[in-house]
A and B are shown apart, each in its own frame.
Chain A
Amino acid sequence: MKTILNGTQLAITVDRLCHQLIENHLNFQETVLIGLQPRGIFLSDRIYHKLKQLMPGTHINYGKLDITFYRDDFNKGTALHVPNETDINFSIENKKVVLIDDVLYTGRTIRSALDAMLDFGRPAAVELLVLIDRRFSRQLPIQPDYTGRTIDAFISQKVKVRWQERDGADEVVLVE
C-alpha cells in the first residue's frame, strides 16, 4: 500500500481545486456543481462547503447525480448496482455544469454521467473535476478540467479514497 495523499495534502488539494473553480466561475451565478454518486459526493460536499467558506453569502446550486441506470455494463455479466439518490432541484438548462468525482479511471462513469445529466436539460458547458486522474487507463476520450493529483498505476492496482466522515481518516492510497 502506498499513500498518494495524506490528510494534510488532501485538504490543500481541495483548497487549490476550489480556488481554481473560483478563478473560472467567479460568483457561480451561471454555474452549478454536481457530485457523482456514490463516492464522488464526499469530494463534492467538501468542495461545496469550502467554496461557501471562501465566498460567504454566495448562493451555489449543488446537486447529486446517480448514474446507475445509465451504465453501459448492465446486461454484461457484471454485478448489479443498487441505485443511490439523485437530487437536482434546480435547472441546468444553459448553465455551466461542473461534474465532480473522486477517481477518473476508464471514463465510462463520466460518459454515463453525461447521458444522465442531459435528461435534466441542456447545459451551456460541462467541466470535469476529479481528485485523482489515472491518466493511462482511459477507454474513452474523456479528460478532466481540474485535477487534484495525476497518477500512473497498473490495472492490477486500486486507488482507495478514504474520507473522515465515512472511514475515520482523510487519505488516498494505492493498493495492490
Chain B
Amino acid sequence: MSLSVKHLLGIRDLQRQDIELIFQTADQFKEVLQRPIKKVPTLRDTTIVNLFFENSTRTRISFELAEKRLSADTINFSASGSSVSKGETLIDTVNNILSMKVDMVVMRHSASGAPHFLAKHINVPILNAGDGINEHPTQALLDAFSIRERLGNVEGKKVAICGDIMHSRVALSNIYCLRKLGAEVMVVGPPTLIPKHMAAALGVHVSYNIREALSWCDVANVLRIQLERQNTPLFSSLREYSLAYGINRQLLDSIGKDIVIMHPGPINRGVEINSDVADSGQSIILDQVENGVAVRMAALYLLAGKKTEQQ
C-alpha cells in the first residue's frame, strides 16, 4: 500500500485513502515519539533539503524534527542571506542543491504554485510546506488528525474555519481535507475576507456571524489575520475585528456547547482568540503542534517509500 501521488503538493491531489494511510502511519509514529529513544533508522540513507523562501517557526522546526526522528540527513536553506538575493532563479537554486545528491525537498514559498512549478522540473519528491495563499497540506493533515484524535472520527463532524479565509492556505487545505474525510465545513469571517462563490466551488457553508458558526460547529479552527498578505485594508481595525470576530470565554460560555478550539499558529492573542480560550481545556492547539511531527514523519516516510517503489 502506498500513496497515489509522487509529491505532496496539496490536499486537492490526494484521495481519501491517501489521507487515511497517512493517519494510520502517523499513529505509529506518534507511538515512536512516546518512547525513551524517539528515533527510528528508517531514512538513514536519505538527505532532505528544507527550502524556506518565507519565514516560518513551527512548520520548519516540525519538519526538521520529523526528519531527524527518521534519521535523515537534513540541509536547511533560507532565502535571506542566500544567492537568491543575487538574482539566482528558483530552478537554478534547487538544481544546484540537488547536484549535491539530495533525495527530497521540503519547500515553503510566498508564491502560490511554486512547488507545482518545481515538480515539473526536478525528479525528487517535493513536500509543500506552504505556498502563498494556495495550500499548506501538512497543516491540514495534522489538523484533521488532531480532530480524529480528540473526537474519534472526522466523518460527520461540523468544523467552522474562522477569520481570514481569503489569504489562508491553511483554510483551503483544511476545506479539501475535511470534505474528503466527510466532515461538514463552515467558513466564517468578515465578508471582505471570504471569497465570493466559495460555497458553490468548495461545498462549504458560509456565515458572517461568529456566534452562529460557533453554535453550529463541533470544532472551531481559528485563523490569524494575515496582514502581510493584504495590500489594501479589508476591515476597519484589529480592535473592531476582535470585537466582531474574536473568540473569548464569554462568547464560548454563552453558546452553551463544549466545542473544540484549534489554531494553526502563530496566535495573535487578544485579536482572533483570547488567552482564556487558547489556554483552556477546550483548546487542542498544543496537541496540533505535537501531532505535526508525527504527521510529517508519516508524509516523509510514505513519499520516500513511493520514490523507491518507482525506481
Contact = CB atoms under 8 A, between A and B. Distances in A.
A86 B28 contact: yes
A87 B308 CA distance: 29
Contacts of B45: 75
B31 A80 contact: no
Contacts, number: 62
Nearest to A76: B308
A71 B305 CA distance: 12
Interface in A73-129: 74-80, 82-87, 115, 119-121
A79 B21 CA distance: 15
A136 interface: no
A85 B308 contact: no
A77 B311 contact: yes
A69 B43 CA distance: 9
A84 B154 CA distance: 21
Nearest to A69: B40
Nearest to A86: B31
Contacts of B43: 74
Contacts of A82: 1, 21, 24-25
A157 B136 CA distance: 48
B46 A75 contact: yes
B32 interface: yes
Contacts of B31: 85-87
Interface in B277-311: 301-302, 304-306, 308-309, 311
- Describe A's contact surface by its main secondary structure: loop
Given A74-B42, A74-B305, A121 B28 contact: no
B35 interface: yes
Contact of B28 (A70, A74, A76, A84): A84
A115 B39 CA distance: 12
A31 interface: no
A69 B21 contact: no
Nearest to B298: A83
A80 B36 contact: no
A136 to B, nearest CB: 29
Contacts of B37: 119-120
Interface string B14-58: 000000010011011101100111011111011000000000000
Contacts of B29: 83
A120 B301 CA distance: 22
Contacts of A74: 42-43, 304-305, 308
B42 A80 contact: no
A85 B31 CA distance: 8
Nearest to B301: A69
A69 B24 contact: no
A141 to B, nearest CB: 20
Given A80-B2, A82-B21, A83-B25, A75 B304 contact: yes
Contacts of B28: 66, 68-69, 83-86
B32 A69 contact: yes
A76 B42 CA distance: 12
A71 B32 CA distance: 15
Nearest to B21: A82
Centre residue among A77, A79, A82 by max chain B CB count within 10 A: A82
B34 to A, nearest CB: 10
A80 B1 contact: yes
B302 A69 contact: no
Nearest to B42: A69
A77 B308 CA distance: 5
Given A74-B42, A83-B29, A119-B37, 8 more contacts: A66-B28, A69-B301, A70-B42, A78-B308, A79-B2, A80-B306, A86-B31, A119-B40
9 closest A-B pairs (Cβ-Cβ)?
A80-B305, A69-B40, A83-B28, A119-B37, A69-B42, A80-B2, A75-B308, A82-B1, A77-B311
9 contacts: A68-B28, A71-B42, A77-B309, A77-B311, A80-B1, A83-B28, A85-B27, A85-B28, A86-B31
